[in-house]
Homo-oligomer: A and B are copies of this chain.
Amino acid sequence: MAYLNENYLKLKAGYLFPEIARRVKLFCDGNPEAAQRLIRCGIGDVTEPLPEAACRAIHRAVDEMGKRETFRGYGPEQGYEFLRTAIAANDYESRGIDVTPDEIFVSDGSKCDSANFLDVLGSKNKIAVMDPVYPVYVDTNVMVGNTGDANGTGQYPGLVYLPCTAENGFVPEIPAEAVDIIYLCYPNNPTGAVATREQLTAWVEYARRHRAIILYDAAYVAYVRDADVPLSIYEIEGARECAVEFRSFSKNGGFTGTRCAFTVVPKDLNGYTESGEAVSLHRLWGRRMSTKFNGVSYPIQRGAESLYSPEGKLQVQTLVDHYMGNAEILVNGAKAAGLTVFGGVNAPYIWIRTPDGLGSWEVFDRILNQANVVITPGAGFGGGGEGYFRISAFNSRANAEEVARRLKELKW
């Protein structure tokens, strides 16, 4: 009898975004006219076209694939050296950060990487997540059996939830207890918060003291505007011994449908056997990737490489400026509507307190019905997100302006 992984049965009905899609479809089917003016600010998906540099690079690579002399079959599972070298030079070396090309693993997404990294970790770790939290961190821990059944508030025993509140600026306090794995995401999804150098330094010190590992998700780093906000966990002394960093081309180069990302696993990073023996996680992750992955499509890797060319950098900057322009409009619109607003300054997400103590799914339904705008209910990011909702700045300028206008007209 083929047994299934019963941990999957602990998962709640749907991953957040499919659930939003379901409610939106239901609304649109019942309200075909309102559906015409629907604006989606829910899922954090880019809307602007792929940078010209990337299109050109992919075209060139496809032409290579069409000729025998330049055709490429299986590539290196870790990613082509041309891309890993460009990443190391531009994202790290140019900022004086010590990350080498062979510490970079190219993949098809940060969601995949953050999920898959659990493959090389053991089952006895105490796992800490921020609350609110990007649901993938939680769900993938449920799937591998790192939790019990969800309790009444939707939290899973076995996870340590680190409260991120308006009071702590959505950067959690260092826990009193020892944890082994800590997920940190800055700029944060969903709150749009960033962590200061001092805050990250405290986390790195904590992790080193406990031989813990920080899984640092920096997928939104391109949106940081304040010069003193760290762009990489490796700007912090000692982080090479305790941190993995996830980065993506989804949100800077608009690659959400094109698919390319990377993960940094420093050679100084160890995991431990139960008997206390240190083992290189770089080696284990390399083994994982060569056994369970076949590398990213060659033309797509050329597209990602092009984002580091002079024209590519300019085009990325234009994209980021566009979305951050939207963010400013949305922040101002929400404030003008009398709402209490966070984020939107170093991140493409605006995090808004629900008015009158309304529940966040209630606000979701109300904004969908009244304003025909799709937002993301904070509760979708866990208990700590209740009482908030997220507006994404990924949109056309016209839509951002229209959403700001409609927010002001909402009746609560």
Chain A interface (Cβ within 8 Å of chain B)? Answer: 1-6, 8-9, 11, 15, 18, 43, 45-50, 52, 55, 58-59, 62-63, 65-68, 71-75, 108-109, 111-112, 115-116, 119-125, 136, 139-140, 143, 180-181, 210-213, 254, 256-259, 271-274, 276, 279, 281, 284, 287-288, 290-300, 396
Contacts and interface: CB of A to CB of B under 8 A. Distances in A.
Given A9-B279, A122-B3, A122-B4, A49 B66 contact: yes
Among all A-B residue pairs, the 3 with the closest Cβ atoms: A4-B271, A3-B122, A45-B73
Given A9-B273, A71-B48, A73-B47, A281 B4 contact: yes
Contacts of A212: 1-2
A341 to B, nearest CB: 25
Contacts of A111: 292-294
A280 B169 CA distance: 43
Contacts of A52: 66
A121 B3 contact: yes
A72 B3 CA distance: 38
18 contacts: A4-B121, A4-B272, A4-B279, A8-B288, A15-B287, A43-B74, A48-B71, A49-B65, A55-B63, A62-B62, A73-B256, A108-B108, A109-B293, A112-B293, A257-B295, A259-B294, A259-B297, A300-B300
Contacts of A5: 119-123, 284
A138 to B, nearest CB: 10
Contacts of A258: 65, 297-299
Contact of A288 (B143, B180, B284): B143
Given A2-B272, A279-B9, A50 B71 contact: yes
A274 B2 CA distance: 9
A191 to B, nearest CB: 21
